[in-house]
Amino acid sequence: MKGTRLILMGPPGGGKGTQAKVLQDKYGIVQLSTGDMLRAAVGAGTPVGKEAKAIMEAGKLVSDDIIIRMIADRIDEPDCANGFILDGFPRTVPQAEALDGLLVKKGMTLTCVIEVRVPDSMLVERITGRFSCAKCGAGYHDKFQRPKTEGKCDSCGGVEFTRRKDDNAETVVARLEAYHAQTAPLLPFYEKKGLLRVIDGSAPIDEVTRQLEKATAA
């Protein structure tokens, strides 16, 4: 796993973030989530955050320019030298092409691209039930992953939890539309390069992790 450079692709609510965090904790490979970066920018009120806020709340995609700049800066940081897991990036063909260019410039290659496949019918329940610890960001779900002690974070003991503003039934529809129209076309892009592996993201979390580890090692 060490040195692995992975892209996790799949629909919103498909479990990319959950799996990226599992691998990050287990193997020390850093998770690069453009969604998390944007939410931090919105929270901090930076110019990027101000531009992105309404777009994110509408479930649409933020401009390629902003996203590519963000990733180009992040990949240059020293913790990425041990490998990284891209979660939620690339989401458009121009982003994928820009990533190719960045990697060539740095003399890096991708280990593989994993499609975490989940049917649309499961996603609304997954997304509308999720929440996270306000202190450490650990993820939970009303039905599938409650804290072991009610109201207390398993990881840090925090007692405050938050829900994402875009995790509601209406916005999910727009996010799914964006996924199918703009992101799914990347699957054949990576398949042609021989990098694509598909795993069943509808399975329980541990089972998806097992499939992911197997697919990455293959």
Pairing of strands 5-9, 84-87: parallel
By beta-carbon distance, which residue lies closest to ligand AMP? 35
For 53, 113, 124, 212, the CA distances from 86, given in Å and listed in that order, are 21, 9, 23, 14
Residue 152 per-residue DSSP state: B
CB of 58 to ligand AMP, least distance (A): 8
Q: Catalytic site residue 16?
A: yes
Cβ within 8 Å of residue 107, ≥6 positions away: none
CB of 129 to ligand AMP, least distance (A): 15
Q: Catalytic site residue 163?
A: no
Please give the Cα distance from 73 to 76 (Å, whole number).
5
39, 53, 74, 175: the catalytic one is 175
16, 53, 74, 126: the catalytic one is 16
Q: Does residue 208 contact residue 201 with C-beta atoms inside 8 Å?
A: yes
Q: Catalytic site residue 91?
A: yes
Q: Does residue 98 contact residue 68 with C-beta atoms inside 8 Å?
A: yes
Q: Catalytic site residue 214?
A: no
CB of 197 to ligand AMP, least distance (A): 20
CB of 126 to ligand AMP, least distance (A): 12
Helix (H, G, I), strand (E, B) or coil at 217: helix
Q: Catalytic site residue 146?
A: no
Residues that bind ligand AMP (CB under 6 A): 12, 34-35, 38, 55-56, 59-62, 67, 88-89, 91, 95, 166, 175
Give the residue numbers marked as catalytic.
Answer: 16, 91, 130, 164, 175
